[in-house]
């Protein structure tokens, strides 16, 4: 099965010029812990609730801090035509719980989460691989 068949297509995108308060409100409204950040029709980063807490609030930055200042610019992603097993292995290796999904023109078309994989995984192989990798201790977490 391809990732395009199990991903979530309803994706909210944050702008790098938005404030982190606006991004946090968006996350609250859609009950999500992360948002892709887009500019000029391209995915340029990701912002998570953890980024807001650790990179901004814990460092004394206020709610008017721009998303661009604290977002992660190293974005892991997959393509919508990739196989479920391949993507789940990658998510496990990289310890990712969610992954943006792009089409071959590199346009954001969805998000795939561990829960999407587990619901679509008939034999349990893909979800077991992803979950076992994500669950491994990764040492000290670094916030850049």
- Under DSSP, is residue 89 helix (H, G, I), strand (E, B) or coil? helix
| pLDDT of 1 | 85
Contact 100, 13 (CB under 8 A): no
Burial (CB count <10 Å: 0-12, 13-18, 19+), residue 104: exposed
| pLDDT of 128 | 52
pLDDT in tens, the chain (144 residues): 899 999 999 899 999 999 999 999 999 999 999 999 999 889 999 999 999 999 999 999 999 999 999 999 999 999 999 998 899 889 888 888 899 999 999 999 999 988 888 777 666 555 555 555 555 555 544 444
**What's domain 3-134's superfamily in CATH?**
CBS-domain (3.10.580.10)
The distance from CA 19 to its chain's CA centroid, rounded to whole angstroms, is: 19
Contact 120, 20 (CB under 8 A): no
The domain locations on the chain are: 3-134
| pLDDT of 131 | 54
User: d(Cα 5, Cα 135) in Å, to the nearest integer?
Assistant: 25
User: d(Cα 12, Cα 34) in Å, to the nearest integer?
Assistant: 10
Rg (CA), the chain: 15
């Amino acid at each position: 099965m391809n990732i395009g068949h199990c991903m979530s297509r309803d994706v909210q995108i944050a702008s790098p010029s938005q404030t982190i308060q606006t991004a946090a409100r968006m996350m609250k409204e859609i009950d999500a812990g992360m948002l892709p950040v887009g500019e000029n029709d391209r995915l340029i980063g990701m912002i998570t609730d953890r980024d807001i807490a650790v990179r901004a609030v814990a460092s004394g930055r206020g709610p008017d801090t721009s998303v661009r200042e604290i977002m992660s610019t190293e974005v892991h992603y997959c393509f919508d035509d990739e196989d479920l097993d391949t993507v789940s292995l990658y998510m496990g290796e990289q310890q990712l719980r969610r992954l943006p999904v792009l089409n071959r023109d590199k346009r954001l078309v969805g998000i795939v989460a561990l829960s999407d994989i587990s619901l679509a995984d008939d034999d349990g192989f893909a979800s077991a691989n992803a979950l076992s990798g994500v669950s491994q201790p990764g040492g000290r977490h670094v916030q850049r």
